[in-house]
């Protein structure tokens, strides 16, 4: 489905291809017509797309799946999840119904179709990834199924030709009492029933919402959604197994392999590009070296930890300085002020040593010296959570990285208490999160707790949209959001997201 710039067939061999077989070499791929909004993804896409589309569409879907996962980690109920996801879906993976008469219907459905299959490729390599992908795709399907226009949804269900046996009238009469007891409905309530092999509806069996008889589950019409969703999961699980077996052949493709590897990594920890708007914070005047101690209260734990270590030791090792300088640059600290900040912070060394050993590196971060021509003037981009969570662990005496990952729980909890996180339930859940390697979830949990009153307020007065409170995956976003929330009502405070991305 990727547009080919070259053929993999050796030109000499191509010359010898039997002319009768040439029909296979020039397969005609077609664009599908998407009749329904919902999709069981039975057919893989075959039309061409560019590499850029391949990557962008997949990243957008990944964002949606990560947010869905975040909702379940944070125990949001179905309604809260649906409300939260609405904005995220509209932004990253819109999928309108036929009745919307949107001109973009086919485009949206195509992106949905392709992005599903791209992520299927990226996440079929291990049992763990397959299970996660299947769970999240099922959540997404259920969300959309519920939200679908009822008539269009019925049309979609019919199109699936699912092999459900309708329970005939005579059987219904025979089992009447048992069916009514199973459905928990009153007598006289005459609804349609289907029967399927009981293994196909484990969720309903587990919740005792069906009648089990002779190896069949008798399912009332109103449980149709569970049936359809169970079928979706079953098919997807089978397809993922097949994809896993076909994967080794893809390793040869040096265009796709790196993209797929990056996507798989992003599934473990969502990635985010630094947005240059993170440095433009309404209401926050030009940041000076002397403001950092106060602003540090709004820093995420990774940067707060670096700041505290710097204040304690009057020194930070190389990677810590790099991580912190990039972050400070990202919040809007100018090069001159950054140099003042480091010079004053390194109290124990003299000017000469500072000039010789430290100044150059700080200027390099800002693109003032060194680097290739492309980076000159811009320097390097502040690190995302993904970068901090996946780089090699710090050695003795080093403090860089994300403490949720690099600290053992017995050290992490006191660190959190030191910065004011003293709620026992929050600390307990953070411990569980990090035990399951959900580091950024722990960080978001702490953020939500530390800003709970402000979040409640902006939600109640509607001044921030749900999207303004999506999962934080960049330390600079953490700072900006924290600062804005803690300074509500002061000037123009309120703009959180959007804007141009700064190139890596």
Structural Rg of the chain based on CA atoms: 27
CB 240, CB 124: distance < 8 Å: yes
3-state secondary structure 64-106: HHHHHHHHHHCCCCHHHHHHHHHHHHHHHCCCCCHHHCCCCHH
Residue 328 touches ligand SF4, criterion: CB under 6 A: no
Smallest gap from residue 324 Cβ to ligand SF4 (A)? 11
269 φ, ψ (degrees, to nearest 5) = -140, 115
Smallest gap from residue 477 Cβ to ligand SF4 (A)? 8
Window 461-480: contact mask with ligand SF4 (x via CB under 6 A): --------------x--x--
Among 57, 439, 464, 483, contact with ligand SF4 (rule: CB under 6 A): 439
Smallest gap from residue 337 Cβ to ligand SF4 (A)? 22
CB-nearer residue toward ligand SF4: 226 or 323:
323
Q: Which residues contact 271 (CB under 8 A, 6 or more apart)?
A: 59, 262, 265, 384, 386, 473
Among 402, 412, 416, 458, contact with ligand SF4 (rule: CB under 6 A): 402
User: 35-58 burial, b if ≥16 CB within 10 A, otherwise e?
Assistant: ebbbbbbeeebeeebeeebbbebb
CB-nearer residue toward ligand SF4: 69 or 112:
69
* Residue 470 DSSP label: S
Q: Which residues contact 243 (CB under 8 A, 6 or more apart)?
A: 120, 121, 124
Smallest gap from residue 323 Cβ to ligand SF4 (A)? 9
* H/E stretch holding 213: strand 211-213
Sheet containing 211-213: give its strands across: 165-166, 193-197, 216-220, 211-213
Residue 342 touches ligand SF4, criterion: CB under 6 A: no
Smallest gap from residue 403 Cβ to ligand SF4 (A)? 6
Residue 385 touches ligand SF4, criterion: CB under 6 A: yes
Which tokens is 428 given?
């307990």
Among 73, 232, 404, 483, contact with ligand SF4 (rule: CB under 6 A): 404
Q: Which stretch binds ligand SF4 (CB under 6 A): 62-70, 129-137, 298-306, 359-367?
A: 298-306
DSSP annotation string for 108-119: HHHHHHHHHHHH
Query: Number of residues in contact with ligand SF4, rule: CB under 6 A?
Result: 12
CB-nearer residue toward ligand SF4: 385 or 455:
385
Among 388, 416, 430, 484, contact with ligand SF4 (rule: CB under 6 A): 388
CB 478, CB 471: distance < 8 Å: no
Smallest gap from residue 133 Cβ to ligand SF4 (A)? 22
Q: Which stretch binds ligand SF4 (CB under 6 A): 146-154, 249-257, 272-280, 437-445?
A: 437-445
Which residue in the block uniquely carries the two structure tokens 């390194």?
Answer: 346
Smallest gap from residue 441 Cβ to ligand SF4 (A)? 9
- Of 143, 134, 148, 58, nearest to 99 by C-alpha is 148
* H/E stretch holding 326: helix 318-331
CB-nearer residue toward ligand SF4: 157 or 442:
442
302 is in an annotated binding site: yes
Residue 301 touches ligand SF4, criterion: CB under 6 A: yes
CB-nearer residue toward ligand SF4: 118 or 441:
441
Tally of CB atoms within 10 A around 484: 25
CB 85, CB 38: distance < 8 Å: no
Smallest gap from residue 389 Cβ to ligand SF4 (A)? 6
Which tokens is 378 given?
């811009």
Distances (CA, A) of 91 to 105, 141, 188, 201: 15, 17, 46, 33
DSSP annotation string for 471-485: ---SHHHHHHHHHHH
Smallest gap from residue 269 Cβ to ligand SF4 (A)? 8
Residue 440 touches ligand SF4, criterion: CB under 6 A: yes
Residue 279 touches ligand SF4, criterion: CB under 6 A: no
* H/E stretch holding 196: strand 193-197
Q: Which stretch binds ligand SF4 (CB under 6 A): 55-63, 83-91, 92-100, 296-304?
A: 296-304
CB-nearer residue toward ligand SF4: 102 or 398:
398
Which tokens is 91 given?
């932004």
Residue 382 touches ligand SF4, criterion: CB under 6 A: no
Among 300, 330, 332, 382, contact with ligand SF4 (rule: CB under 6 A): 300
H helices then E strands: how many in the chain? 25, 4
Distance of CA 141 to the CA centre of its chain: 16
Q: Which stretch binds ligand SF4 (CB under 6 A): 99-107, 160-168, 295-303, 372-380?
A: 295-303
Among 256, 302, 306, 469, contact with ligand SF4 (rule: CB under 6 A): 302
What is the three-class DSSP state of 49?
strand
CB-nearer residue toward ligand SF4: 299 or 346:
299
CB-nearer residue toward ligand SF4: 220 or 475:
475
Which residue in the block uniquely carries the two structure tokens 């990285």?
Answer: 401
385 is in an annotated binding site: yes
- Residue ranges of the binding site for [4Fe-4S] cluster: 302, 385, 402, 443
Binding site membership: which residues? 302, 385, 402, 443
Summarize as ranges the residues that interact with ligand SF4 (CB under 6 A).
300-302, 385, 388, 402, 404, 439-440, 443, 475, 478
């Amino acid at each position: 489905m990727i547009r080919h710039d070259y053929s993999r067939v050796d030109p000499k061999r191509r010359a010898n291809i039997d002319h009768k077989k040439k029909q296979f070499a020039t397969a005609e791929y077609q664009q599908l017509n998407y009749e329904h909004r919902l999709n069981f993804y039975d057919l893989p896409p075959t039309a061409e797309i560019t590499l850029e589309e391949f990557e962008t569409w997949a990243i957008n879907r990944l964002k949606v799946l990560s947010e869905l996962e975040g909702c379940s980690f944070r125990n949001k109920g179905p309604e809260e999840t649906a409300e939260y996801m609405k904005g995220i879906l509209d932004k990253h993976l819109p999928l309108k119904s036929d009745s919307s008469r949107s001109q973009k219907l086919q485009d949206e459905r195509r992106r949905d179709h392709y992005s599903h299959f791209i992520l299927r490729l990226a996440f079929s390599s291990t049992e763990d990834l397959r299970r996660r992908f299947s769970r999240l795709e099922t959540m997404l399907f259920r969300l959309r199924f519920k939200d679908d226009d009822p008539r269009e949804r019925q049309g979609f269900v019919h199109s699936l030709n699912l092999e459900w046996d309708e329970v005939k009238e005579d059987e219904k009469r025979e089992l009447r009492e048992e069916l009514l007891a199973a459905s928990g409905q009153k007598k006289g309530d005459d609804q349609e029933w289907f029967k399927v092999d009981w293994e196909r509806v484990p969720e309903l069996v587990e919740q005792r919402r069906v009648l089990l008889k002779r190896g069949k589950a008798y399912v009332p019409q109103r449980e149709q959604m569970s049936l359809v969703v169970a079928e979706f999961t079953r098919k997807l699980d089978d397809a993922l197994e097949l994809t896993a077996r076909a994967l080794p052949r893809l390793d040869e493709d040096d265009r796709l392999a790196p993209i797929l590897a990056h996507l798989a990594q992003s599934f473990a920890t969502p990635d985010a590009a630094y947005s240059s708007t993170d440095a433009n914070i309404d209401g926050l005047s030009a940041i000076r070296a002397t403001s950092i101690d106060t602003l540090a209260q709004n820093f995420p734990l990774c940067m707060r930890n670096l700041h505290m270590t710097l204040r304690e030791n009057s020194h930070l090792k190389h990677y810590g300085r790099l991580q912190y300088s990039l972050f400070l640059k990202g919040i809007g600290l100018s090069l001159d002020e950054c140099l003042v900040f480091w010079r004053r912070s390194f109290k124990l060394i003299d000017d000469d040593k500072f000039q010789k050993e430290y100044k150059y590196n700080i200027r390099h971060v800002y693109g003032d010296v060194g680097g290739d021509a492309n980076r000159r003037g811009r320097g390097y981009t502040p690190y995302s959570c993904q970068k901090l969570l996946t780089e090699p662990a710090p050695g003795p005496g080093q403090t860089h990285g994300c403490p949720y990952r690099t600290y053992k729980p017995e050290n992490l909890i006191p660190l959190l208490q030191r910065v004011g996180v003293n709620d026992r339930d929050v600390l307990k859940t953070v411990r569980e999160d990090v035990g399951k390697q959900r580091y950024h979830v722990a960080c978001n949990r702490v953020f939500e707790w530390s800003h709970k009153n402000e979040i409640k307020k902006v939600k109640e007065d509607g001044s921030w949209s749900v999207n303004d409170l999506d999962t934080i995956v960049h330390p600079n976003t953490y700072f900006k959001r924290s600062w804005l929330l803690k300074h509500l009502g002061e000037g123009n405070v309120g703009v959180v997201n959007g804007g141009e991305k700064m190139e890596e």
